Amino acid sequence: MDAASDIKYLTLGGSLKLKSGITFGPITVAYETYGELNPTKSNTILICHAFTGDSHVASHRSGDRPGWWEDMVGPGKAFDTNKYFVICPNVLGSCKGTSGPISLDPKTGKPYGLDFPVITIQDIVMVQKRLLDHLGIKTLLSVAGGSMGGMQSLTWAVLYPDMVQSSIVIATCHRHTAQQIALHEVGRQAVMTDPDWLNGDYYGKEGPKRGLAIARMVGHITYMSQASMERKFGRKLVGKEELGYNISKDFEVEGYLEYRGQSFVERFDANSYLYLTKAMDYFDLTEDGQSLADVFQGVRSDFLVISFTSDWLYPSEQSRTMVRALKANDVGVSYVELDSDYGHDAFLIDFGDQTKVVANYLARVQNDKAGRT
């Protein structure tokens, strides 16, 4: 079986009323599953990926391509696929199988481009809900995710309180701040001012490669920490023994950013970059003017909230704000600030404590559930 065939596709019947008010369809969802659904359908864990992730959260077998949370998901791992049925869908608006701007518009037979509707984290979650409905899954043992994945996890707990038993919310926030919006806007402007963006209608042409690479370079700086960049690169030179005294690259960190920018361009669609950053910037659980404590009033899930000491993109204070609002509702919350100097990337690469914390938490959730039944 080749890797591609591990991706399953579901095309939802009918259309979906999006948060914008627009009715949109058809929508195809790409997803991967791991482990077995038990007879009572009570062992499902939904894992929500971050910004540029996909449904491939882990390898399916020996020799398979590693997934983006390979160290967290698999037999005997924190998300133990011997026990749990793990499902990971690609998000709406992305370019990894689920409908997005690069998908073909059935009306024209061409990619949607900017005709794709602007979507929100709630829309992403609603599509996931439809997928689970189709699979006949009525309860989720847990909904887990970091960064944009954490926003989805939060939204699940608020939108579908009767369905979610526990929420694992990592390195994220309940609403984007001005600085978080600003960092995304730089990336969007880099893409949209690239002459090859062509108002989003660049498919089959060159595409805004320069702008998208710049956008990704900004992103990478925000995903790392001052300390992790210093340890990894410091002032090491790239391909030279001494400073070049010309306008080209001198430092290894410059070469690294170029490499990350270029490789991103090969694997991600520029319009999806615009749409998903917008979805994150729109994200604000308190948008209706309610306090966050009020928003969490109906929540019935138990929570594990994790942040990382050196994450300056989604700093711990944002997690503590959520924890306070959950506690105000007497919701069960375990909050752990993990010591890591990997910055925001820690949720994707720093697994020592994260693995133990998640494994122990899920064991407790299962025990609590067993005690109740």
**Which backbone phi and psi does 330 adopt, to 5 degrees?**
60, 25
How far does the chain reach from its first CA to its final CA, in angstroms?
A: 40
Q: State the nearest-atom distance from the C-beta of 364 to its own copies, in Å.
A: 34
Provide the minimum distance between the beta carbon of 341 and its own copies in the complex, in angstroms, as a whole number: 12
Amino acid at 298: G
Q: How far apart are CA 129 and CA 135, in angstroms?
A: 10
CB of 315 to its own copies, least distance (A): 7
Select from 259, 258, 240, 260 the least CA-distant residue to 250.
240
- Candidates 195, 204, 289, 371; binder of its own copies (CB under 8 A) is 195
24 counts as binding its own copies under rule CB under 8 A? no
Residues 307-346 that bind its own copies (CB under 8 A): 312, 315
Q: Which is nearer to its own copies, 164 or 191 (CB)?
A: 191
Binding window for its own copies (CB under 8 A); candidates: 32-40, 169-177, 349-357, 358-366? 169-177
Q: How far is the CB of 158 from its own copies (least distance, A)?
A: 18
What one-character-per-residue DSSP string does 278-293 give? HHHHH-BTTTTS--HH
Query: Which is closer to its own copies, CB of 276 or CB of 365?
Result: 276
User: Which of 68, 202 has the CB closer to its own copies?
Assistant: 202
Helix (H) or strand (E) holding 334: strand 333-338
Q: Minimal distance in Å, beta carbon 175 to its own copies? A: 7
Give CA–CA dist 164/46, Å, rounded.
10
Residue 238 interacts with its own copies (CB under 8 A): yes or no: no
Q: Which of 145, 44, 35, 43 is nearest to 90 (CA)?
A: 145
Of 63-71, 90-98, 188-196, 290-298: span binding its own copies (CB under 8 A): 188-196
CA 52 distance to own-chain centroid = 7
Check residue 166 and give left, alpha or beta (phi > 0: left; psi -120 to 50: alpha).
beta
> What is the rounded CA–CA span in Å between residue 318 and residue 146?
13
Angle 346-124-289 from CA coordinates, rounded to 5°: 90
Regarding 230 and contact with its own copies (CB under 8 A), the answer is yes
CA atoms within 13 A on the CB side of 69: 31
Shortest reach from residue 272's CB to its own copies, in Å: 12
Active site residues: 147, 311, 344
Q: Among the candidate windows 62-70, 74-82, 250-258, 350-358, which touches its own copies by CB under 8 A?
A: 250-258
Residue 59 lies near its own copies (rule: CB under 8 A): no
Which member of 135, 159, 221, 328 binds its own copies (CB under 8 A)? 221
246 binds its own copies (CB under 8 A): yes
Query: Total number of residues binding its own copies (CB under 8 A)?
Result: 61
Nearest to 99 by CA among 170, 18, 161: 18
Indicate whether 233 belongs to the interface with its own copies (CB under 8 A).
Answer: yes
Query: Is 120 or 165 the residue whose CB approaches its own copies more closely?
Result: 120
Phi/psi at 91 (5° precision):
-80, 150
Distance, CA of 70 to CA of 72 (rounded, Å):
5
With respect to its own copies, which residue has the nearer C-beta, 131 or 217? 217
Q: Of 257, 320, 323, nearest to 296 (Cα)?
A: 323
Instruction: List residues near its own copies by CB under 8 A.
Output: 19-22, 114, 117-118, 175-179, 181-183, 185-186, 188-190, 192-195, 200, 210, 213-214, 217-218, 220-221, 224, 226, 229-230, 232-235, 243-247, 249-251, 253-254, 257-258, 261, 274-275, 278, 281-282, 284, 312, 315
